[in-house]
Amino acid sequence: MTTSSPPRRILVVCLGNYCRSPFAARVLADLGDDAVEVRSAGLIGTWQEAHPEMVAVAAVLGYDLTGHHPAPVTPELIEWADLVLAMDHAVLDRLHALVGPDSATEMRLYLDHDRDVPDPMGRSAVEFVYCALLIEAGAANHLP
């Protein structure tokens, strides 16, 4: 008899849960299949859905963001996760401040080599594509 381990719980966080973290969560969930449970959240913002440009880029790459509903990050959501992935240094710093030094949850940047995923908000369509490609390429680093 084979026993499977529970899925790895991953939380992806960006500033507004509008562009980067929704796309990263969808990529990780799709590629990780049953091995992961993924959620996304943001530090600020009151958006009702994912950014239309990111939805369009995601669709071209084969991902569906149409059902995304932004959520605020909370200490409880951080504690739910086995791994919290921040899109940039500023987000990671705010997450550490939110939960304090005693949190047992692993928190790190989404990209390796200490790199930020640039925020495409307010920028050209090309920046959304670049952001999405960076996120897609980095996904394998977080999957079991």
Q: Which of 39, 88, 119, 131 is catalytic?
A: 119
Q: Which of 19, 20, 88, 131 is catalytic?
A: 20
The DSSP secondary structure of the chain, one letter per residue, reads ---PPPPEEEEEEESSSSSHHHHHHHHHHHHHGGGEEEEEEESS---SS--HHHHHHHHHHT---TT----B--HHHHHH-SEEEESSHHHHHHHHHHH-TT--SEEEESSSTT------TTS-HHHHHHHHHHHHHHGGGG--
Catalytic residue flag (residue 33): no
Catalytic residue flag (residue 19): no
Catalytic residue flag (residue 14): yes
**Which residues participate in catalysis according to the annotation?**
14, 20, 119
